[in-house]
Chain A
Amino acid sequence: MKVMNCPLNGPRNIQEFAYGGEVIPQPAADAGAEPWADWVFMQNNTAGVVREWWLHVTSGYWFIAERDTVRDQILRTYPASEVFRVRMDVTAPEATAWGGESK
């Protein structure tokens, strides 16, 4: 794996890219500590084809790659818009004072 095909910029040296973790949806903001700890810390660590976030550092462009983690091969790279097709409206939870009770 020496060359990665950036969907925006074309094939580039793998050193121009940064790995961004597996594509896994975030828990809801009010989901509680355990789902968030699981999302932040726990890993599938799959031996096989994984869908991952990658960043082309030089151009600041995030995209998705499907990579075989056993054969060290990139199968496909594509823009995130292929997967994320619905606009998300995020409302921030109500701010609370430090030490106060959250909803």
Chain B
Amino acid sequence: MPFGLLKYGLRSEYKPQPVLPKRPELKSSYDVVIIGAGGHGLAAAYYLAKVHGITDVAVLDKGYLAGGNTARNTAIIRSNYLTPEGVAFYDEAMHLWSGLSQEFDFNLQVSNRGHLTLAHSDAALRTMRWRAEVNKHMGVKSELIYPDEIRKLCPQLDLSKNTRWPILGALHHPPGATVRHDAMAWGYAHGASTRGVEIHQHTEVTGFQRDGDRITAVETSRGTVQCGRVLQAVAGSSSRVGDMAGLRLPIRTTPLQACVSIPLMPFLDPIIVSGSLHTYIWQTARGELVMGGAGDPYPGYFTRSTLDFKEGLIAHVLELFPFLGEVRFMRQWAGMTDMTPDFSPIMGRTPLSNYYIDSGWGTWGFKATPVAGKRMAETVATDRVPDILSPFDMQRFLRFDQVGERGAASVGH
């Protein structure tokens, strides 16, 4: 890459490189149809082409490229989960993240700055200790630290006893990082399309044609395509698409709001999360504070922002950083999260023989993009679910066999 960069720098002309070629007409059939051109769908297409040599693939999206939750998350990546199954899964993603900019030859702005999950009660301290020990057992760097060490990592935090819920300790996860989420999507999209995958934006799936337990064709707003295999990877529309395929899912689609402040001088190094206070906050390279909290208290298919969400969120942000009281908001937005009963995803096979699902990503999907894409590509290519995905089988709820990650995945309680 350095020589390519040098050559590029010595050019007399810089032609803009489009991320994607012009959208073609839909062919009459594809080996694989991926529904959803978000991070997960694009990543699956990329690994199908790159690793498995499967390039007769169409990725369909009713909207624009990665305009759903991939565009709306708060871009944090980490693997400090609670269950061994969860930790193994998200840590595979962390290993993939670290090489992605190089692989794409495109800067994903992976900013490894460390992640602190604050504990404000004895029960929370116990959970952080539990997570730290499971993490270490699985080879992931995490440690329970106390206010003296927290102060060294983030001196701006209010670590006094003058708060309603004083900070007693924190789970420190040094590998925690942030990524430019759009760049990741473009990297996967470009990598997939240069290998022959077709990406069809503004192409809505309207139904399926079925023969027994096989989907034979996908009906879209731009025509019908025969398909060998189908992968559903639509966050926010999982039940709507799943219904068309006759699937029964344990998903409640719920808005998750987030917001960003005006740019400030850089002061916040690590990513700060508080489960007890339903708050997370980090500062971008442009100085903006990205802030998020719990999902909305009732399900819905909308992305509007509310005042009461911000009142709750900022009350807790000011407990952590009281000096931010005068700072202004710059932007607010929301995504639609597919919440599952155990805060773990739904991945793998469905009762249909050629229809695969990558869903139930709730508030924990962005960080998993590389491993979800890679392992779902493997599942679709080999028609076999790899062991690392088997705990997330869609039938696990009927067996009461949940992978409980509520505390580690989310700040909503």
Question: Which of A's residues lie within 8 Å of B, judged by CB?
Answer: 2, 14-15, 18-19, 33-34, 37-38, 40-47, 67, 69-72
A69 to B297, CA, bound (A): 13
A2 to B309, CA, bound (A): 11
Residues of A near B299 (CB, < 8 A) are 19, 45, 69
B304 contacts the other chain (CB 8 A):
yes
Beyond the given pairs A42-B250, A45-B238, 7 more chain A to chain B contacts, judged by CB atoms under 8 angstroms and listed by A's residue number, are A2-B308, A41-B397, A41-B398, A43-B239, A43-B250, A45-B299, A70-B302
Contact A37 B397 (CB under 8 A): yes
Residues of A near B399 (CB, < 8 A) are 37
* Closest partner residue, chain B, to A20 (CB atom): B298
Q: A19-B298, A70-B300 are in contact. Are A45 and B253 (CB under 8 A)?
A: yes
Residues of B near A40 (CB, < 8 A) are 341
Q: Which of A14, A15, A33, A72 contacts B302 (CB 8 A)?
A: A72
Q: A38-B398, A42-B248, A45-B253 are in contact. Are A19 and B297 (CB under 8 A)?
A: yes
* Closest partner residue, chain A, to B248 (CB atom): A42
B267 contacts the other chain (CB 8 A):
no
Contact A15 B308 (CB under 8 A): yes
Residues of B near A70 (CB, < 8 A) are 300-302
Contact A45 B300 (CB under 8 A): no
Chain B interface mostly helix, strand, loop or mixed?
Answer: loop
Residues of B near A2 (CB, < 8 A) are 306, 308
A6 smallest CB distance to B (angstroms): 15
Contact B297 A37 (CB under 8 A): no
Q: Which of A15, A38, A43 contacts B252 (CB 8 A)?
A: A43
B8 smallest CB distance to A (angstroms): 47
A1 smallest CB distance to B (angstroms): 8
* Closest partner residue, chain B, to A13 (CB atom): B308
Q: Which of A38, A43, A44, A47 contacts B301 (CB 8 A)?
A: A47
Residues of B near A14 (CB, < 8 A) are 308
B251 contacts the other chain (CB 8 A):
yes
Contact B397 A42 (CB under 8 A): yes
A91 to B238, CA, bound (A): 39
B400 contacts the other chain (CB 8 A):
yes
List the 8 closest pairs (A to B, CB-CB), nearest first: A45-B239, A19-B298, A41-B397, A41-B250, A37-B398, A69-B300, A72-B302, A70-B301
Residues of A near B397 (CB, < 8 A) are 37, 41-42
A71 to B301, CA, bound (A): 8
B249 contacts the other chain (CB 8 A):
yes
Contact A43 B249 (CB under 8 A): yes
**Contact bitstring B230-244, A, C-beta under 8 A = 1, else 0:** 000000001110000
A86 to B301, CA, bound (A): 34
* Closest partner residue, chain B, to A43 (CB atom): B252
Contact B249 A45 (CB under 8 A): yes
21 A-B pairs whose Cβ atoms sit less than 8 Å apart in the complex: A2-B306, A2-B308, A15-B308, A19-B298, A33-B398, A33-B400, A37-B398, A41-B397, A42-B250, A42-B397, A43-B249, A43-B251, A45-B252, A46-B239, A47-B240, A47-B301, A69-B299, A70-B301, A72-B300, A72-B302, A72-B304
A14 to B298, CA, bound (A): 11
B273 smallest CB distance to A (angstroms): 24
Contact B301 A69 (CB under 8 A): yes
Residues of A near B240 (CB, < 8 A) are 47
Residues of A near B300 (CB, < 8 A) are 69-70, 72
* Closest partner residue, chain B, to A35 (CB atom): B398
A75 to B297, CA, bound (A): 18
Residues of A near B298 (CB, < 8 A) are 19, 67
Residues of B near A42 (CB, < 8 A) are 248-250, 397
Residues of B near A67 (CB, < 8 A) are 298
Contact B249 A18 (CB under 8 A): no
A43 to B238, CA, bound (A): 12
Residues of A near B400 (CB, < 8 A) are 33, 37
Residues of B near A15 (CB, < 8 A) are 308
A14, A41, A42, A70: residue with the most chain B Cβ atoms closer than 10 Å: A41
> Which positions 290-322 of chain B face chain A at CB distance < 8 Å?
297-302, 304, 306, 308
A71 to B306, CA, bound (A): 14
Residues of A near B252 (CB, < 8 A) are 43, 45
A101 to B349, CA, bound (A): 34
Q: A19-B297, A19-B299, A37-B400 are in contact. Are A45 and B251 (CB under 8 A)?
A: yes
A52 smallest CB distance to B (angstroms): 8
* Closest partner residue, chain B, to A69 (CB atom): B300
Contact B308 A41 (CB under 8 A): no
